[in-house]
Amino acid sequence: MSDKILITIKELSNYGQVDNLNEQAIALVQQQKVNWELAGKNYAALSEVHKKEFDFGHFQIHAHHNPGRMRSSAAKTDPQSIARRACFLCADSLPPEQKGIPFQNDYLILTNPFPIFPVHLTIPHLKHIPQRLEHFFADMLDLSRQLSGFTVFYNGPRCGASAPDHFHFQAGKKGYLLIEKEFNSLVEEHAKAYFQKKDVEIYAVDNYLRRIIAIVSPNKNAIIRAFHFLYSSLLEKKDVEPMLNVLAWYEEGVWKIIVFPREKQRPSHFFETGKNQIIVGPAAVEMGGILILPRHQDFEIIDHKIITEMYNEVTISSDDLNHMINIFAQYR
Ligand SMILES: [Zn+2]
């Protein structure tokens, strides 16, 4: 990796506070908005994004019409298409304007030039290795702790990652996803199952359009252990990652991890033709309650019924969630 990619703390200090990694990351986004035309244009466009709010009783789904996300929502992620394109996360192929901050000698913190959040980071591994969370979950916990103003998220290679060939996390401004605001009432009033195990609390939620498993603990090793238990219970084939999206944030000394086990990469609406087609690529952000629609026509017709159908198709079934609850009942 060329040193030209790394930005100095001195340069960052022109764009904000730089006392810790969190402040440095926010300053980086500011620097890129000023010095990288693509980022400047796309962050400015974010304030123009139209939004619709859909009320489902104890939760909401918001639809955002965000044309800048077309590249990601409609991304072709089959092996042939991936092999034909240059990797946009390898350090040596980044545009000259793009700058990064190193993390733990293994990652580069970058500004996402196609934002959903007012501050939106992409955090690729320095090596071009496939997207698979199994061996890197502990890094997600470290990142979420240090990036205290962000929620860190992970999209599986068949669950919304537009670079399934290059391991990466993303992070967005904390508190922006609806599930973060709904989390306490969800687990306290709507959990289908709750387990208090040694040093860790585990919740399963069914009544939320998406079915989720949440793991809460101040103890890093306890979370890692519970996550690996969950991961291996979802594992069907040894070499293929279970379909999932994961969110992680850290507040008041406690990690909150939400796992969305998935049934499908995309809903059937994506594969319709003509006016019935909806361009959508459900990933962690969508599972978190913000439905990104790059096309105006899709934003126009989206309603409660379509939202319900799409989430139902991509989340795991109620039977599968029950199966996982039974497995977790055995967890020690
Ligand atoms: Zn790469």
Q: Which tens digit of pLDDT belongs to each residue from 58-99?
A: 999 999 999 988 877 777 888 888 888 889 999 999 999 999
Residue 192 CB contacts under 8 Å (≥ 6 apart), including other chains? 204, 205, 206, 207, 321, 325
The pLDDT > 70 percentage for the chain reads 100
- State in Å: Cα 122 to ligand 1 middle: 13
pLDDT: is 85 or 258 the higher one? 258
**DSSP code of 212?**
E
Burial bucket for residue 55 (CB in 10 Å: 0-12, 13-18, 19+): exposed
Tell me the average pLDDT across 192-196: 94
Write down the H helix ranges in 36-78.
37-46, 70-73
Q: Which tens digit of pLDDT belongs to each residue from 102-111?
A: 999 999 999 9
- State in Å: Cα 126 to ligand 1 middle: 8
Q: Which tens digit of pLDDT belongs to each residue from 306-318?
A: 999 999 999 999 9
- Asked if residues 200 and 223 have their Cβ atoms less than 8 Å apart, the reply is yes
- State in Å: Cα 309 to ligand 1 middle: 35
How many Å apart are CA 184 and CA 241, to the nearest integer?
29
Closest by alpha carbon to 205, among 275, 278, 131, 260? 260
Q: Which tens digit of pLDDT belongs to each residue from 113-143?
A: 999 999 999 999 999 999 999 999 999 999 9
- Domains of the chain, each with CATH number or no CATH: 178-262+317-329 (3.30.200)
- State in Å: Cα 85 to ligand 1 middle: 10
Exposure string over 58-89, b if 16+ CB within 10 A, otherwise e? ebebebbbbebbbebbebebeeeebeeeeebb
- State in Å: Cα 141 to ligand 1 middle: 23
Q: How far is CA 138 from the centre of its chain?
A: 16
Closest by alpha carbon to 176, among 44, 292, 263? 292
- Asked if residues 133 and 156 have their Cβ atoms less than 8 Å apart, the reply is yes
- State in Å: Cα 110 to ligand 1 middle: 14
- State in Å: Cα 87 to ligand 1 middle: 5
Residue 126 CB contacts under 8 Å (≥ 6 apart), including other chains? 1, 91, 105, 106, 107, 108
Number of H helices and E strands in the chain, helices first, is 12, 13
3-class secondary structure, 104 = coil
Residue tagged 């000023």 (tokens): 34
- Asked if residues 180 and 288 have their Cβ atoms less than 8 Å apart, the reply is yes
**DSSP code of 238?**
T
Give the residues across from 290 on adjacent strands.
62
The pLDDT > 90 percentage for the chain reads 86
Task: Note residues around ion ligand 1 (Cβ under 5 angstroms).
Answer: 87, 89-90, 128, 166
How many Å apart are CA 108 and CA 90, to the nearest integer?
10
Tell me the average pLDDT across 43-64: 96
Structure token digits, residue 261: 């086990």
- State in Å: Cα 165 to ligand 1 middle: 7
Most distant CA atoms of the chain, gap in Å: 55
3-class secondary structure, 252 = coil
